[in-house]
Amino acid sequence: MAAQKTKVTIFDVAKASGVSSSAVSYALNGKPGVSEATRAKVLQVARELGWKPNGAAQSLAQSKTRRIGLILGYDPQLLAVEPYMMSLISGLGAELEEKDYSLLVRMSMDSDDEDSIIEDWIATSNVDAMLLLNLEIGDPRIEMMKENPQMPVLAVADASLTAGLPTLASDDAAAVGLAVRHLYDLGHRSIARVAGPEELGHSYIRDAAFSEVTAELGVRYRCLHTDYTPAAGADATKRLLSVNPSPTAIIYDNDVMALAGEGIAAMNGVRVPEDLSIMSWDDSFMCEAAHPGITALNRDIVESGRIAASLMLKLIDGEEVGVVEEPPYVLRVRESTGPAPQR
């Protein structure tokens, strides 16, 4: 299974020197715990074999940390259920690995925690670049980063929120158009949305776009903001189904709320899509495996993570990045959306 080894490792040096790998490690790192004779021998063998210090050791020489900072600003239980972040980390990690970079991950429970971590990173140069996620309107982190241009930063957000910082931008407003028009074309004239937290920048962008598009088309629209959890998605669905007349379609701001909403519909004898159409913002395997399969706005988040990583590496190299667009959303039509019920 293992691929052919090409790099000379400390284990190869250990074998050729006839000493343990820990002795080699001590010797090469100039640490105590090994005799001077052994150290001299190990260094000679290492030179002969062509052993090279790895990325981490090289980074010391270049005063680069070879680390990218990522702050997870979420409740840990929610992080665990929402595939978005793991997809992004997967893409980031895969791309960074090719450049021998690591991801330095911190978890913050509130925005003050997060500010402290950013300040730490800026003050100590503990990472070579940072990723900014989940920007709020007028987010104070923007100003903090602008005052500290020595720390490269990439924001993943709508470009209208990032005040000129290097940005990997998604066109959420265009995606709103895709979603609403899909339902409109199926005859829906009363649409509800179960949204994420109101203070998040992308919730705001989506709010504004939904209001605009539905007003333009003459579609009745209402919106409930939640904390993104399955429980909140279920609760919002119950509330929407209890009003009279209830909406004929619900769009959820993430996949776990959509799946929870579909469950509530089934438990209440509301047929999907005959009585109620359901859509998810952000597609995932859950949407595909659900019964019925959930129509979703799909984007390749793993690929976005790869792009974000490569942009951060460019920033570290001093290149200009500006605003780069993510691959666009694509509508994946499945069984959960159908013609509006006649009432």
| Complex with a second copy: residue 209 or 315, whichever CB lies closer | 315
Task: Provide, rounded to whole angstroms, the least separation between the CB of residue 6 and a second copy.
Answer: 9
Residue type for 102, please?
S
| Bond into 197 cis (ω within 30) | no
| Complex with a second copy: residue 171 or 288, whichever CB lies closer | 288
Among 162-170, 183-191, 283-291, 324-332, which window interacts with a second copy (CB under 8 A)? 283-291
| Complex with a second copy: residue 152 or 230, whichever CB lies closer | 230
Q: Among 105, 137, 174, 243, which residue interacts with a second copy (rule: CB under 8 A)?
A: 105
Q: Are 84 and 257 in contact (CB under 8 A)?
A: no
The residues in 106-135 that bind a second copy, with binding defined as CB under 8 A, are: 106-113, 115-116, 119-126
Q: Among 40, 47, 80, 327, which residue interacts with a second copy (rule: CB under 8 A)?
A: 80
Among 98-106, 152-160, 205-213, 316-324, which window interacts with a second copy (CB under 8 A)? 98-106
Tokens of 337: 């959306």
The residues in 204-263 that bind a second copy, with binding defined as CB under 8 A, are: 230, 256, 259-260, 262-263
| Complex with a second copy: residue 5 or 343, whichever CB lies closer | 5
Q: Are 225 and 203 in contact (CB under 8 A)?
A: yes
Cα–Cα distance measured from residue 63 to residue 248, given in angstroms and rounded to the nearest whole number = 59
The residues in 151-180 that bind a second copy, with binding defined as CB under 8 A, are: none
Q: Among 285, 317, 320, 343, which residue interacts with a second copy (rule: CB under 8 A)?
A: 285
Residue 171 φ/ψ region, left for φ over 0, alpha for ψ in the -120 to 50 degree band, beta for the rest: beta
Exposed, middle or buried by CB within 10 Å (0-12, 13-18, 19+), for 341?
middle
Measured from the Cβ of residue 324, the count of other Cβ atoms closer than 10 Å reads 16
Residue length of the chain: 343
Q: Are 307 and 258 in contact (CB under 8 A)?
A: no
The residues in 313-332 that bind a second copy, with binding defined as CB under 8 A, are: none
Among 206-214, 243-251, 279-287, 323-331, which window interacts with a second copy (CB under 8 A)? 279-287
| Complex with a second copy: residue 184 or 204, whichever CB lies closer | 204
Tokens of 125: 């140069």
Q: Is 67 in the site for a second copy (CB under 8 A)?
A: yes
Residue type for 21, please?
S
Q: Among 286, 287, 297, 307, which residue interacts with a second copy (rule: CB under 8 A)?
A: 286
The residues in 33-62 that bind a second copy, with binding defined as CB under 8 A, are: 53-57, 60
Residue type for 203, please?
S
| Complex with a second copy: residue 180 or 311, whichever CB lies closer | 311
| Bond into 273 cis (ω within 30) | yes
- Give rounded-to-5 percent helix, strand, coil for the chain: 45, 15, 35
Q: Among 150, 242, 244, 342, which residue interacts with a second copy (rule: CB under 8 A)?
A: 150
Q: Are 189 and 218 in contact (CB under 8 A)?
A: yes
Cα–Cα distance measured from residue 57 to residue 256, given in angstroms and rounded to the nearest whole number = 42
| Complex with a second copy: residue 235 or 262, whichever CB lies closer | 262
- # residues near a second copy by CB under 8 A: 84
Task: Provide, rounded to whole angstroms, the least separation between the CB of residue 87 and a second copy.
Answer: 4
The residues in 2-31 that bind a second copy, with binding defined as CB under 8 A, are: 2-3, 5, 7, 9-11, 20-22, 24-25, 28-29
Cα–Cα distance measured from residue 255 to residue 40, given in angstroms and rounded to the nearest whole number = 59
Cα–Cα distance measured from residue 161 to residue 152, given in angstroms and rounded to the nearest whole number = 17
Task: Provide, rounded to whole angstroms, the least separation between the CB of residue 163 and a second copy.
Answer: 17
Measured from the Cβ of residue 321, the count of other Cβ atoms closer than 10 Å reads 16
| Complex with a second copy: residue 192 or 265, whichever CB lies closer | 265
| Complex with a second copy: residue 212 or 335, whichever CB lies closer | 335
